[in-house]
Amino acid sequence: MNYTYRIYPDAAQQTQLLEWLEICRSVYNYALRELKDWIASRKCPLDRCSLEREYIIPADEPFPSYHRQQNNLPKAKKQFPHLGKVHSQVLQTTIRRLHDTWEAFQKRGHGFPRFKKFGQFKSFVFPQFKNNPINGSTVKLPKIGEVPINLHRPIPDGFKVKQVRVVSRVRGTQWYVVVTIESPVSVPDIPIHGRAIGIDLGLERFLTVSDGSFQERPKFFRSMHRKLKLLQRRAARKQKGSQNWEKAQTKVARMHHRIANRRKDFHLKTAHKLCDQAQTIFAEDLNVKGLARGILRKGCVDAAFGQFLSLTEWVCWKRGVYFAKVDPNGTSQTCPSCFATVHKGLEVREHHCPECGYRTHRDHAAAEMVLRRGLENVVAQGLWGRETACQVGLSGVYDLDKWRGAGIPNREVGKPALY
């Protein structure tokens, strides 16, 4: 598990941290340059060479793998003494970071590693600790010293600190540590149990539950857009590279950071509310990258559906709630009562089935369809265990839903479906 804490280094420590980030960036770019040169040298045709330039690397030169580049670090420190300022394991994890990106590129077939510009390298890792680096209100980082930390929640008993990642945010004015903790206790897979619900995500309503309750979408970016636009206009009028320009850019970055924090806080609180309502949750497996490129991309990026699904899955695992994703195709075009296909455009916000007469909100019908598909998947896979009194498949479930949602103001219950 990862715990994120805010740290408060002094001026000298901040200067040292920023210097480390730049050294790690240079090591990353140098290793990537070696990798690209070796690949480019193998692209030369056998019968001719380029008229402009060609990479001349011996044919017996091996591929610059992680272990080869890691073993070359001591030689590089002799040639470039400033590399010795950074902890040796931090430089090793920087090389590891490049090759993890390279291996991921080979698996998915796109996303070749890119060179990091000034300020784009924002974190480095201390991979191991002999003793617990957190002592009271400080965290001891090798070669940096003790740094004040806001330990808003203690490390649980039985957990050991494995690694610490130092993260720079808001243009190097705010610093955080991501502490990775580990326990030898094995956590079994969460079984399917209790009450099940399906959720549908949208832009009119951020979230609609199959029991009829829904959550309005807070427009984080749009609500702060006016002030952000003013700060960006002020920053554009400053001379680039000056101190006033840097101060204006920091204010813009702080505003973006505030918007992201508000959005994440809303996602976590909503995920916990869902876990309070049910013990089994089904959601749509949305193509978030496709939504971010469509005509409604600004609203989809502001809602951050991908982040919400990831956080919900994490919260469900932490609280012992079963979470699964289902196929989203046709959930809003299918009647959850009789499974008839009901075509409707995005402008139609009500579901009315001509076959069975079922009428409800469009998102509510889609959430019910998500629930049905989730239950069908778990039954087909043989994952369904014992049935409880609050099981969705049992009779009387809608009476239970009405009782549970009696205190929720944002609620809409349609005609009960026939099971």
Whether residue 32 contacts residue 102, with contact meaning beta carbons closer than 8 Å, is answered with: no
Q: What percent of the chain has pLDDT over 70?
A: 88
What per-residue confidence (pLDDT) applies to 54?
66
Q: How far is CA 142 from CA 11, 147, 284, 297, 343, in A?
A: 17, 11, 44, 44, 62
* Residue segments in the chain with a per-residue pLDDT below the cut of 70: 44-55, 383-419
Which one, of 29, 20, 59, 54, lies nearest residue 40 by Cα?
A: 54
Q: Residue 34 has what pLDDT?
A: 93
Residues ≥6 apart with Cβ < 8 Å to 251: 231, 234, 235
Length of the chain in residues, anyone? 419
User: How far is it, in rounded angstroms, from Cα 101 to Cα 35?
Assistant: 12
Residue 410: what pLDDT?
A: 53
- 85 DSSP assignment: G
Burial 161-176 (b: 16+ CB within 10 A, else e): bebbbbebbbbbebbb
Which 3 state secondary structure label does DSSP give 162? strand
pLDDT tens sequence across 5-17: 999 999 999 999 9
Question: Residue 152: which residues within 8 A CB-CB, separation 6 or more?
Answer: 5
**Cα atoms in the 13 Å half-sphere on the side-chain side of 339:** 4
DSSP for 226-267, please give it: HHHHHHHHHHHTSPTTSHHHHHHHHHHHHHHHHHHHHHHHHH
Calculate the dihedral angle through the C-alpha atoms of 309, 314, 319, 323, rounding to the nearest 10 degrees: 50
386 forms beta bridges with: none
Domain boundaries, the chain: 2-42+51-182, 196-404
User: Which residues touch 326 (CB under 8 Å, ≥6 apart)?
Assistant: 198, 282, 283, 284, 285, 370, 373, 374, 377
Two structure tokens written together for 343: 């075509």
Give per-residue pLDDT as tens, 374-414: 888 888 777 665 443 333 333 333 333 433 343 334 544 44
Residue 301 near residue 344, CB atoms below 8 Å = no
Residue 291 pLDDT:
86
What confidence score (pLDDT) does residue 45 get? 67
In the block, which residue shows the tokens 């040796």?
A: 88
